Amino acid sequence: MDRILVEGGVPLSGRVEISGAKNAALPIMAASLLTEEPLALDNVPDLADIGSMRRLLQQLGVEIRHPPARPKSLVLHCPEVLDTTAPYDIVRKMRASVLVLGPLVARAGRARVSLPGGCAIGPRPIDLHLEGLERMGAEIALEGGYVEARAPKGLRGARIRFPQPSVGATENLMMAASLARGETVIEEAAQEPEIVDLATCLVAMGARIEGAGTSTLRIEGVERLHAARHRILPDRIESGTYVMAAAITGGRLELRHARLDLFGAAAETLAEAGVRLEETEEGLRAERANDGLVGVDVRTLPFPGFATDLQAQFMALMCVAEGAAMITETIFENRFMHVPELMRMGARITVHGRTALVRGVPVLKGAPVMATDLRASVSLVLAALAAEGQTEINRIYHLDRGYERIEQKLAAVGARIERVP
Ligand code: UD1
């Protein structure tokens, strides 16, 4: 298995190209199942998770082309749904595979999707996806670890109110509702920018959706959707990660394509913590403010709150800030696996339930550490960039799921980082 070696202590400086958002690209690729006409996508990141979604969609009957002149583009075309099963092996590796459920039921009248099972950051059930589809008239059964959903006469519009916002459930039901009969209203919908991006793409395909980006979505079902071209929005989590890479090393980075308006509460939190952020013509400039980093308390919340997907990276930043920071994770149950690894590097962190108290130390020290999930892994990379000496990060396949060419991007701005087989 590959490892990453980082020799810390170099302030990063230069330009980083921010990729398209993984969490927008995945549901939008699944939307290709909704129409027999081609869907052309630009700015698709080259990531392991995108590869998994491609393989899954190909099994279901989607033909996928890479136009040679446009390396970041994909054309997905599903003239006919050939298979309606999302098998265990793919869903187990990538939870976002459940995003084919809504489109398959809506277009083919049936779907058989493996239950995702537990993952490192908590049990993450899909009950909200299933209850929503049931309200739209699907019959749902569980058999042999698979969800079997059927709607032989098609789906119908329904009023759905989530007990709490779920990104995946909102996406699945928005796609299903686009082809249902009548109007669907989703209350307490997730408001993440990736939901807005999916809605924009669906509207370009002929869907009738109002309220994307607010807590109430209205979708008037249409008979059929058609061909469209859509550009995936920039990855706000990758952007935030590089912002923190600049700040933790005391460097300065220009992030091409990054958009501050996608940061939500993180923009203010980072500013309070001593990170200077400035919008530029091509994106965003990030550097550590002259007074240095200071401890700031945060709670993760649904958008526009502070993203859970930035919590681990922010914790790495707080490890070397002046004073203390209380970090509370409210979205996932078990999302502090990076804590013991950061402590191996000299961080002072105490965890009480869902809260971690981080007391800043003057310097972290390189150590061998283990990556446990996607965002935890990258928090170890950030800590390593700031640490004295060498850090060896093991099990880095998680990084490849969500960060495009991370070692090349970091090396290009001065980091001493290499991947060794
Ligand atoms: C998406 C993101 C992930 C991010 C998360 C929260 C993708 C591909 N992944 O994941 O990176 O960390 O949003 O911003 O976009 N829940 C239920 N029942 C359900 C669905 C969710 O109880 O049916 C719970 C989850 O366990 C979790 C919370 O709701 O505690 C939020 O999860 P959700 O927003 O659904 O996350 P994902 O869509 O899986």
Is 120's pLDDT higher than 70? no
For range 354-366, the mean pLDDT: 98
Question: What is the model's pLDDT at position 397?
Answer: 86
**Atom 12 of ligand 1: nearest residue by CA position:** 309
Give 29-87 pLDDT, tens digit per residue.
999 999 999 999 999 999 999 999 999 999 999 999 999 999 999 999 999 999 999 99
Does ligand 1 lie within 6 Å of residue 166's CB atom? yes
The 10 Å Cβ neighbour count of residue 303 is 22
Question: Per DSSP, what are the bridge partners of residue 6?
Answer: 391, 417
Answer for the pair 75, 58: CB distance below 8 angstroms, yes or no: no
Mean pLDDT across the chain = 96
Question: What is the model's pLDDT at position 125?
Answer: 87
CA distances from 413 to 320, 409, 416 (A): 21, 7, 9
Is 299's pLDDT higher than 90? yes
Does this model's pTM top 0.85? My answer is yes
Give 203-236 pLDDT, tens digit per residue.
999 999 999 999 999 999 999 999 999 999 999 9
The CA 98 to ligand 1 mean position distance, Å, reads 11
- Catalytic, out of 78, 119, 201, 319: 119
For range 3-18, the mean pLDDT: 97
Question: What is the model's pLDDT at position 13?
Answer: 98
**Atom 24 of ligand 1: nearest residue by CA position:** 124
For range 227-256, the mean pLDDT: 98
Best CA proximity match to 381, nearest among 393, 372, 394: 393
Query: What angle (nearest 5°) sits at the alpha carbon of residue 44, between those of residues 128 and 130?
Result: 10
The CA 175 to ligand 1 mean position distance, Å, reads 17
pLDDT tier at 395, thresholds 50, 70, 90:
confident
Question: What is the model's pLDDT at position 207?
Answer: 98
Is 123's pLDDT higher than 70? no
Measure the CA dihedral 1/397/249/288, to 10°. 180
Best CA proximity match to 230, nearest among 412, 54, 73: 73
Tally of CA atoms within 13 A in the half-sphere of 72 that contains its CB:
17
Coil, helix or strand at residue 42: strand
78 catalytic residue (yes or no): no
For range 292-310, the mean pLDDT: 98
pLDDT tier at 239, thresholds 50, 70, 90:
very high
Is 334's pLDDT higher than 90? no
Does ligand 1 lie within 6 Å of residue 53's CB atom? no
Is 108's pLDDT higher than 60? yes
Is 118's pLDDT higher than 70? no
Does ligand 1 lie within 6 Å of residue 129's CB atom? yes
Give 71-102 pLDDT, tens digit per residue.
999 999 999 999 999 999 999 889 999 999 99
Q: Is 371 left (phi over 0), alpha (psi -120 to 50) or beta?
A: beta
Question: What is the model's pLDDT at position 404?
Answer: 95
> Which of 331, 337, 374, 375 best tests ligand 1's pocket when mutated (most atoms within 8 Å of CB)?
331
Does ligand 1 lie within 6 Å of residue 103's CB atom? no
Is 122's pLDDT higher than 70? no
Residue 283, token pair as written in the block: 């994106």
For range 259-264, the mean pLDDT: 97
The CA 366 to ligand 1 mean position distance, Å, reads 33
Is 314's pLDDT higher than 90? yes
